Structure 1
Amino acid sequence: MRDFPPLPQPADHEGQPRKVGVEIEFGGLNEAEAARLCANHLGGEATQTDSHIWKVNNTRIGTLEVYLDIFLRNATQSKLRDLALDLGREVVPVEIVSEPLERDGLQKLDGLREVLRKAGALGSGAGWTFGFGVHLNVQIASGCDADIVRPLLAYALIEDWMRNANPIDESRRILPFTDPYPTDFVRDLIALGPDAPVSEVRETYLHHNPTRNRGLDMLPIFAERAPERVEAVVSGKLSARPTFHFRLPDCLIDDEDWSLSDEWQRWLIVERVAQDAGVLARLGKAWEDDHGMITISRQSWARRCGEILHEAGLDKAGA
């Protein structure tokens, strides 16, 4: 079983372990098959609550939701809706959503990942329409500005390196679900700095990113703190919660060498960079030097960023 190293700030402001909710998208299995596998492996009872929605209650990691991941599942049940859902099954993933978990819960969920793989679950690389991902909903360390702004700045500075070091599958590149941050946003974020008020960072973010389709989606955090402001800019349903919504990772569930721990450790790098004020400052200065007034290529910065992280011993999360 793979390890899930602790976060640099493992506890929240009340001294409780920070938790992580996980969303796993995959193909190859339908909702009923996936729900029953969850119950068989983790205990509990699989219950169908709608034609394409299941819940697995009382598992060893709490309640799991299992459903076809499409907006139509929230529509009123009808024969037409169910037909549309069935027709979309070839391109729409089944999704398993966990409750917020501690590290031992992440390990148990990773064990389920292996069970799903052996049963025929398919990941991002199984077809050009399979733009499947893993989403990590990482609880913020506290409501303090720095505990929100610095991880965002760290991610923005190293995103190009992360995408270069672990390229996402081509099927996800052609879909808009995890677009990179615009260069002008990163430039403005650097200008605000790591000690900027969250309110200013929020306005900058909304100006450049009025969408959920980013590798790191900050809208859940901003919506919890200023719901009316976010609703005025972003259309569609938002789940307001104090978590970083890390959407970048692929789901490679059909690869026996892949683990949820691989994606967890990518997030660890973000938080470790955020905790190192010297590295954060160096990255910001080097980013401005590399980009100048215009950005010709993201590749040069990805290489330079990797060199800085390697020199600081932060290019691998480690144990």
Structure 2
Amino acid sequence: MGNVNASENGAAAAATPPPSLIQEDKNPGSLEDMHKKCKDVFPMFMEGYKFLVNKGLSQHFQVSHTLTLSNSMPSGYRFGSTYVHASRVMSPQESYPIMVGDIDMSGNLQAHYLDAPSQNTRCKMIAQIQQGKWQGCQLSGDYKGSDFTSSLTLANPDLINGTGVGVLQYLQRVTNKIDLGTEFVYQSSPQLPGGHIAALSFSGRYSGPDYSLASTISNSGAMHASFWQKCSDDLQVGTEIETNIKMQETVGTVGYQVDLPRAGLLFRGAVDSNWNVKGVIEKKLQPLPLTLSLCGLLNHPKGSFQMGAALIMG
């Protein structure tokens, strides 16, 4: 949760990792990342224009400035900051605690706090304030064993009124290629029929070094299946099917990613069964510390087209 890149010299990189890190490689990860490799291939569309500046003020502190102009999302200026204390270094890619904040001109604030009390535990807290009022919070914790991960998440817990959402997840590595997991979701609220509702889902994944086949099925009638394949160092493809039996809706998506690091070029494209075609191209404007991103969305049945552009500095 919340990886932060850390640089190391060549000697440290070539050294044999400690036993704790070798053991961590057998961990299947968290259940929420079951379909992550496939999702990462699909383009993230943004309508409008965005200008983002990232500035590192010190080894531990970084700020960002974002200016957005859009019809589909809130426009305006946002200020963000990231602080990494690095008092607990779990691996070359993980240092804790981490504090992340983001605020806009209307005072809408979202804050994250991430920590690792031990080598096997991770915890995170998210707080939101909108229009000067407390909107809600989320508390989560992970325990990573040698071959399993268990997670507990609480959203807007109110012990006095007995309301809130709880999510319990467990993912077990059965063999070197097979992972099995389950998720239990419980919500309590006076607005719900009977005052509460619960859902149970099961997940499975069969994966290798260059492929991943995952599936999730829930007693609420939702099903999700995905497949990811790394064809070469430059090309990755992915496909997924999401079905809701109660709503009688099914959406299938096929996407691909082409990464050309030598040219500083990254392209993602996808098309779904509703004939929505998405594409995102990112180009590093070397030697300047700038990245230009252009994206488009075309809906064939409606004959509509949307476009977005972003310029990232730093």
With the length of structure 1 as denominator, give the TM-score of the two structures.
0.27
More strand by share: 2
Question: Greater CA radius of gyration, 1 or 2?
Answer: 2
More helix by share: 1
Using CA pairs under 8 Å that are at least 6 residues apart, name the structure with larger relative contact order, 1 or 2: 1
With the length of structure 2 as denominator, give the TM-score of the two structures.
0.27
